[in-house]
Amino acid sequence: MGKISGLVALDVDPRSGGDASLTELFEEHGAFPATLEALTGGGGFHFLFAHPGVKFKNSSSVLGEGLDIKTDGGYIDAAPSLHASGKHYEWRGTAAPSPMPSWLLTLLTTERAKPERAPAAAAAAHPLAGCPPLRGLIPAGEWNKQLFRIACAVRGEGADRAGILEELTEINGARCAPPLDASELERIALSAMRYAPEAKRRAPRAEGATR
């Protein structure tokens, strides 16, 4: 990565909470523009951007838990590399690498302390961890994050886009006041579809969850 290739990669690792961290960034700054993406053999994914021509460091979890930046001196495995899991890396779509969003470049060129990992973080590895009780309302400001975790959990159990939307629609109507727009649920479902079902950890659904 870096000037030698003209590329910078954001490596998202859901096993370390990268999906939730990315959702938080999107909620604060907006989603990425269409750019080159890849599914990794380990169940995560890469966003690749055109190198902006300025220097910043390779970093691990500076942007958030489970988010790594690969630039000058860093590297990623690319399709069709074979992962230790036995799965291949795959390109997702045909978009060309886009310029890096200005807000992302600002975050990467501003010195920030690496966030400390909370003691309970290891117990919160499953996408449903940290969600409010299923019988209660999701607090305002937490809707996207919690629905995304639920969508990832449902995807991990093998659901397709329609199944994820069905689950999100039910929970949205019962636990979000006011409910999110259908277009927002569609966006969350499509984000969860990045993950291959077999790559997600399978765990018993929380008591009271419905399908």
**127, 167 contact by CB (below 8 A):** no
pLDDT the model gives residue 112: 52
Q: 174 to each of 87, 189, 190, how far by Cα in Å?
A: 38, 18, 21
* AA identity, residue 153: A
pLDDT in tens, 80-118: 888 888 888 999 888 899 999 999 999 998 855 444 444
Alpha carbon distance, N-terminus to C-terminus of the chain: 42
Given a cut of 70, the residues of the chain with pLDDT beneath it are: 111-136, 140, 198-211
Q: Is beta strand 36-39 parallel, antiparallel or unpaired with respect to 67-70? A: unpaired
**112, 62 contact by CB (below 8 A):** yes
* AA identity, residue 7: L
